Every structure is written in structure tokens, then in C-alpha cells.
Amino acid sequence: MQQDNEFIDKFWNLIRSDMTAMVGTDSVSPRPMTAQFDGERPVIYFFTSKETDLAKAAASPQKAQLIYAAKGHDLFAAADGTLRVNNDPALIDRLWNRFVAAWFEGGKDDPKLSLLRFDPGSAEVWKDASSLVAGIKMFLGMGDPKEDYKDDVAEVKLGRRLISAQPQPH
């Protein structure tokens, strides 16, 4: 369990820092989206246009997948969850920022604005197992890379744990 928490915490800290993931549904191929977070809730929000295929698909709750690769490639994740539209004005107001504003000429009241909510469920999370030590061991024929890597992958429930208020350095 402690190891699972390590994977969960690392995922949330890194995605909060990087803020980019691929999101898709059964009917819409994954596409890069910029993540937004509302406090410590284990939920990810994405601003988009109502005209996008993803927003149209999420008009009713959809099974979705989020694919994430940390900028430093020290963590990768594939998370299943539910994607839905959540155009709550108070939430939009809390998440609004100058980067989002650049995409919507009408501001928070832009008629094309749509806020998507991704509630993650189960995920497979991988830590990067390639390191100098692993490379040297492989070069010298020492150890079993499959055995060494087994502790660097976990199946976890991302929605069951609150995330840290401050991203951790990576």
C-alpha cells in the first residue's frame, strides 16, 4: 500500500506541475489537453470549445482514458475514468487564468467555452527504470532487468487519495 501511495503521489505532483496529458474517449482519439486543478480534489479539468469532438462526446458522461508522460520521462501513466461537461460558473471562475483566456475571445462568458471534468479511476503507472546503475548492471551482465523493473510499475486507484497542495520538484 505504501508503494501504491508513492506512485499515486508522484503522478499527482508531476501532472500538476506539467499540466499536459492526452485525453480521449471510445469515440474520440486521445488529444493533448492542458490540465487544471481545483484545490486538492483528485479530479482533472480541461477547458475546450463546445465545437470540439471531445466536448461533444462528453455532453453525456463517457468512459475516457488519460495518457500522461512526465516532462522528464521519469513517470508514465494510463488512467481510465469518466469524462463529462461541467460548466459550473463558480468552478470556471476559480480555474480561469490568462492562458485559458487567450483561447476564448468572449472570456468566461464565451458561448463556445466548455469545461470538461475527468474523474480518474484505475490507472497503471510506470516509473522510468532506465538509470545509470541499471545501464551498468546490464552492460556487466549483472542482475535481471525484468526483476529489477517489477517495483517500478503499479496498478492504482487515482481517485481515492487527495493530492498534495504543492507540486513536488522532479
Per the confidence metrics, is the pTM higher than 0.85? no
For residue 165, being part of any structural domain is answered with no
Q: How far apart are CA 80 and CA 123, in angstroms?
A: 6
Residue type, 150: K
How would you label 82-107 residue by residue, b for 16+ Cβ within 10 Å and e otherwise? Answer: bbbbbeeeeebeebbeeebeeebeee
For residue 79, being part of any structural domain is answered with yes
Q: Is the pLDDT of residue 24 over 80?
A: yes
Q: What range does the domain containing 119 cover?
A: 2-160
Residue type, 158: L
For residue 168, being part of any structural domain is answered with no
For residue 100, being part of any structural domain is answered with yes
Joined grid coordinates for residue 5? 501511495
Least confident of 16-30, 86-100, 155-169: 155-169
| CATH code for the domain of 69 | 2.30.110.10
pLDDT over 70 percentage in the chain = 76
In the chain, the number of structural domains is 1
Q: How far apart are CA 169 and CA 94, in angstroms?
A: 24
For residue 166, being part of any structural domain is answered with no
Least confident of 102-106, 114-118, 132-136, 164-168: 164-168
For residue 41, being part of any structural domain is answered with yes
For residue 103, being part of any structural domain is answered with yes
- Provide the mean pLDDT of the chain: 84
